[in-house]
Amino acid sequence: MARIAEPEKMENIKKAIMEGLIEHGYSGMSIASISEKAGVSPGYLYRYYSSKEELVQELVDSEMDIIVKSFMLDIGSSATLYEVGYKTIKRLFMKANEEPLLAKFKASVVMDLKIPAKEKKENYKNILEVAEKCIQLGLRTGEINPQTKAAELLTVSFTIPFRYLSFSLELDGNKKFTEGEVKRVAQICVNAFK
């Protein structure tokens, strides 16, 4: 989103992308719908981006980088798999209390595999390596079944917290997540690996 020099327009476009992705999914979005929602002309967006994919990819990549880097930091600074899950889920839920639109967007990005991401295969490879680190930690602490595969760990780790967040915000748009929910969802995730 750094290509557009006007901060207000940039924020409106970012918000329009997030809302469009949440409401319609990647396939249901277009440059025209994004520009209309953002209050700019389609030509304005095409001046900076050659396609919807390029426009969405930039925002998606920056948000996915944040998620993955935070997850990696949590692994490195945690003594147990539960602690990794707790820290990650707490960050997600508390951010949702402050910025529900951004949290819903992140959930949509994680759950919609059709959304373009830079070097998707490389990203998957990196995420699988992170999952392997989680598995090693879980094996050392006895929190994980030795048969657990990286893809299984990622499915649980990304699906349960993000789906919980999405369902909760869908049911109550003013939802405020609690410490108790963070602990409960983290425990549900860890229990899935036994």
pLDDT for residue 170: 92
Q: For residue 194, give both structure tokens.
A: 């036994």
Q: Per residue in 47-60, pLDDT tens? A: 888 888 888 888 88
Q: What is the DSSP letter of 3?
A: T
Instruction: Answer whether residue 107 shows pLDDT above 80.
Output: yes
Q: Which of 4-8, 10-14, 41-45, 141-145 has the lowest mean pLDDT?
A: 4-8
Q: What are the tens digits of pLDDT across the range 120-130?
A: 556 677 788 88
Q: By the 8 A CB rule, do 108 and 28 touch?
A: no
User: Domain extents for the chain?
Assistant: 56-191
Q: Mean pLDDT throughout 64-81?
A: 88
The CATH number corresponding to 56-191 among 1.10.3470, 3.30.450, 1.10.357, 3.40.50 equals 1.10.357
DSSP-assigned letters across all residues of 166-180: HHHHHH-TT----HH
Alpha carbon distance 178, 33 (integer Å) = 35
